[in-house]
């Protein structure tokens, strides 16, 4: 007999008869009629070409052949029940799961302190690993190698869900005693001082420089770097300035003794979204983690 020729629902009834040792008891616990169980048993006997159960004073007892099937069928049903129930719930208080999140270095600076503090104090078994966005990000999300992605990812369209967290507004960042602080924020004054250009590949930040050029801002670029992590360290000891997202600037003011200033032109705000693949939209762990991020960071 081939497995594909067998109605697998019959195995559930087989297992219940083994447990209850009674056709009527199995029917009651399964919530179906006794004739339905009797009919299922008849089909099982025909399929296996064996009586499977015989009536005794101790109830329905499996035949020697059926006894060989009892444990494998019970294990299979138990495994299926476990798998199905795992899709219905996720307990972050007991879980030891590590979530993988793709974000930029500026994401590390902005998101991680508050996120990790929340996890350590409320969900100590949960851990996080961050990775940089890459060309295969869509595939990594689809295959479950990465759980979530945060940032500007216009390439994540078909097959993905997204939710807006906030918009990035840009400001000028400089040291607290910078000469620019005492001057009107005109285009000329803004462009007079040396600038740090942050390209941050795979994000929308590099587009800001293109917009500035189209607006006629001829900045004196003295340093070009692909990340934000060193910006505050450099600014606190030089007269360089940098155009950065406001949330990043706010995290640097106190620790690095810096100041933020308005820009001389209006720059478009960049939407920062949370992305996940549709395959994991109903996954309870993924759902719980993204909801936590919404609650902590959504505007």
Please tell me the predicted confidence (pLDDT) of residue 143.
87
Name the pTM for this structure.
0.66
Would you place residue 210 in the very low, low, confident or very high pLDDT band (cuts 50, 70, 90)? confident
Hey, CA dihedral for 74, 49, 59, 23, is it positive or negative? positive
DSSP-derived secondary structure letter, 46: H
In the predicted model, is pLDDT for residue 78 greater than 90?
no
Position 203 scores a pLDDT of 63
State the pLDDT at residue 87: 58
| Higher per-residue pLDDT: 3 or 246 | 246
Q: Are strands 270-277 and 148-151 parallel, antiparallel or unpaired?
A: antiparallel
Looking at the predicted structure, is the pLDDT value of residue 125 above 90? Answer: yes
Separation CA 56–CA 62 (nearest Å): 10
Going across the sheet that includes 270-277, the strands are 127-131, 98-102, 148-151, 270-277, 160-168
**Distance (Å, whole) CA 17 – CA 38:** 10
Query: pLDDT higher for 266 or 98?
Result: 98
Q: Is the pLDDT of residue 215 over 70?
A: yes
Read off the pLDDT of each residue in 79-99 and give the average, rounded to a whole number: 81
User: What does the alpha-carbon distance between residue 190 and residue 212 come to, in Å, rounded to a whole number?
Assistant: 12
pLDDT above 70 for 255: yes
């Amino acid at each position: 007999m081939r497995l594909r020729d067998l109605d697998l629902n019959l195995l559930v009834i087989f297992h219940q008869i083994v447990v209850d040792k009674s056709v009527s008891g199995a029917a009651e616990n399964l919530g179906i009629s006794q004739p339905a169980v009797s009919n299922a048993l008849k089909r099982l006997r025909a399929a296996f070409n064996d009586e499977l159960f015989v009536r005794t004073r101790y109830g329905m007892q499996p035949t020697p052949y059926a006894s060989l099937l009892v444990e494998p069928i019970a294990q299979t049903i138990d495994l299926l029940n476990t798998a199905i129930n795992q899709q219905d719930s996720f307990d972050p208080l007991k879980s030891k799961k590590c979530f993988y999140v793709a974000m930029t270095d500026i994401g590390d600076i902005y998101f991680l302190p508050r996120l990790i503090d929340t996890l350590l104090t409320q969900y100590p078994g949960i851990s996080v690993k961050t990775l940089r966005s890459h060309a295969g990000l869509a595939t990594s999300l689809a295959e479950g190698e990465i759980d979530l992605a945060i940032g500007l990812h216009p390439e994540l369209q078909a097959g993905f869900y997204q939710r807006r967290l906030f918009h990035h507004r840009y400001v000028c960042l400089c040291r607290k005693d910078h000469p620019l602080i005492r001057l009107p924020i005109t285009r000329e004054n803004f462009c007079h001082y040396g600038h740090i250009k942050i390209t941050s590949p795979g994000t929308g930040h590099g587009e800001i420089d293109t917009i500035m050029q189209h607006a006629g801002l001829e900045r004196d670029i003295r340093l070009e770097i692909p990340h934000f992590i060193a910006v505050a360290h450099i600014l606190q000891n030089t007269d360089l300035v940098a155009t950065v997202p406001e949330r990043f600037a706010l995290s640097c003011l106190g620790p690095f003794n810096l100041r933020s200033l308005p820009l001389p032109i209006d720059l478009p705000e960049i939407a920062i979204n949370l992305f996940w693949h549709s395959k994991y939209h109903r996954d309870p762990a993924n759902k719980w983690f993204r909801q936590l991020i919404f609650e902590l960071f959504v505007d």
